[in-house]
Amino acid sequence: TDDYLWALVFATAPGVITLSSGSNSQSYNVVGGVSKLQLAQGEGGVGAAMSRNGENVYSFSPTGFSFTLHPSSYNFNAYVAAGP
């Protein structure tokens, strides 16, 4: 199976979302409303940032979470994090 970081974005206006997972990152143009995004997992921490008109308006990186590509045992529970 493929492992992805999934993100639901609830935006009040258009912007650019940048997702990161380890050394992987990708930017997505979103409109106002709800957007469902995915990014291939990379080993390490995860994060998200939103910018509008080239200015960062929000960034989020949960503490205490690190993704491992080849763990000794698997946990299929979802990790959920939400920003303020």
Residue ranges per structural domain of the chain:
4-60
The pTM is what?
A: 0.84
Backbone phi, psi, residue 70, to 5°: -130, 75
Confidence class of residue 32 from pLDDT cuts 50, 70 and 90? very high
Distances from the Cα of 11 to the Cα of 3, 21, 33, 43, angstroms: 25, 21, 5, 27
Spacing of C-alpha 25 from chain mean position: 9
For the chain, give the number of residues. Answer: 84
Higher pLDDT, 82 or 37: 37
Query: What local confidence, expressed as pLDDT, does residue 74 receive?
Result: 74
Query: What local confidence, expressed as pLDDT, does residue 77 receive?
Result: 62
Mean pLDDT over residues 66-77, rounded?
77
Tokens of 70: 């080849």
